[in-house]
């Protein structure tokens, strides 16, 4: 740094600098030109729909720009291969989010982006990479970035397949959502940001709880008595008691406190 001749040029626009990095990464392969910019823009728009606010949307945009920075650490022969990848080649591909994190961690100004940017291949069921973390460890931003990267990849040409239409991408993402790999809300926000349409699935209750049992559990978590719950739901206290017994059995608790914790963990109250 001290050897740089005057005048020294300083970067005062972080977004511009990250856009340069995005373009540099995408130039590595003819199949990824413009990929990072598209992911970043889509994630930012989806973040606004998710109510993450201006700061949250800007952070997702920046993470989207550099999410594939680690691709430079994997040879082009793998990225541009027209056929199936070998086991060893897949191992190298699965390293690129880790490399993204390591590169960003070396710069104090970019370190906060590293964890978010490097989670774009994680999945709710833990089948993603490189950390293989599951839903409980993934934020709204993580899920949006994963969905945005998926949609942009599907609608782009790749060496082993042609680009699919937006409708085709929506169908594929619906399958990933229904299989429990992509977050339902994140998919809906990203698809809407891309100009597509996707119906939201009917919410599924955890641990086989019925809709009525969820209603009882919500009131139970708010410390209502059985009689009060009965009054609100227009059923008898005896019926409430049976529901409570069934709820305890299904969710594996034996106290109202345990039921309350369960309801909060599964976002059934709030």
What is d(CA 228, CA 230) in angstroms, rounded to the nearest whole number? 5
Please state, in angstroms and rounded to a whole number, the distance separating the CA atoms of residues 237 and 111: 56
Tens of pLDDT, residues 122-174: 999 999 999 999 998 999 999 999 999 999 999 999 999 999 999 999 999 99
Task: Let me know whether 120 and 185 are in one domain.
Answer: yes
Do 90 and 131 reside in the same domain of the chain? Answer: yes
Residue 47 lies in a domain: yes
Residue 32 shares a structural domain with residue 58: yes
For residue 128, what are the contacts with CB-CB under 8 A and spacing of at least 6? 121, 122, 146, 181
Instruction: State whether 81 and 211 are in the same domain.
Output: no
**Is residue 146 located within the same domain as residue 216?**
no
Q: Average pLDDT over the chain, rounded to whole? A: 91
**Model confidence over 15-54: pLDDT tens digits?**
999 999 999 999 989 889 999 999 999 999 999 999 999 9
Residue 111, number of CB atoms within 10 A of its CB:
12
235 φ/ψ sector (left φ>0, alpha ψ -120 to 50, else beta): beta
Write down the pLDDT at residue 9: 77
Using an 8 Å Cβ cutoff, are 183 and 147 in contact? yes
E strands, the chain, are: none
Q: What pLDDT is attached to residue 81?
A: 94
Whether 117 contacts 104, CB under 8 Å: yes
pLDDT at 201: 61
Residue 200: the pLDDT is: 62
């Amino acid at each position: 740094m001290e050897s740089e001749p005057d005048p020294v040029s300083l970067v005062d626009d972080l977004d511009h600098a990250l856009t340069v990095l995005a373009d540099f990464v995408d130039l590595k392969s003819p199949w990824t030109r413009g990929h990072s910019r598209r992911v970043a823009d889509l994630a930012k728009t989806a973040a606004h729909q998710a109510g993450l606010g201006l700061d949250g949307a800007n952070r997702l945009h920046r993470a989207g720009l550099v999410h594939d920075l680690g691709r430079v650490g994997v040879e082009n022969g793998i990225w541009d291969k027209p056929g199936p990848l070998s086991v060893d080649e897949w191992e190298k591909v699965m390293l690129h989010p880790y490399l993204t994190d390591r590169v960003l961690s070396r710069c104090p100004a970019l370190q906060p982006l590293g964890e978010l940017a490097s989670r774009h291949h994680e999945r709710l069921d833990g089948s993603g990479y490189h950390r293989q973390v599951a839903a409980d460890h993934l934020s709204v931003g993580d899920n949006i970035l994963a969905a945005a990267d998926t949609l942009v990849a599907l609608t782009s040409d790749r060496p082993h397949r042609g680009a699919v239409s937006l409708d085709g991408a929506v169908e594929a993402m619906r399958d990933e959502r229904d299989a429990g790999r992509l977050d339902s809300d994140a998919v809906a926000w990203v698809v809407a940001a891309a100009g597509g349409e996707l119906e939201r699935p009917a919410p599924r209750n955890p641990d086989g709880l019925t809709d009525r049992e969820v209603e009882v559990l919500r009131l139970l978590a708010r410390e209502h008595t059985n009689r009060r719950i009965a009054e609100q739901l227009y059923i008898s206290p005896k019926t409430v008691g049976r529901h409570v017994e069934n709820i305890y059995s299904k969710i594996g608790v034996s106290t109202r406190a345990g039921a309350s914790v369960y309801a909060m963990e599964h976002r059934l109250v709030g």
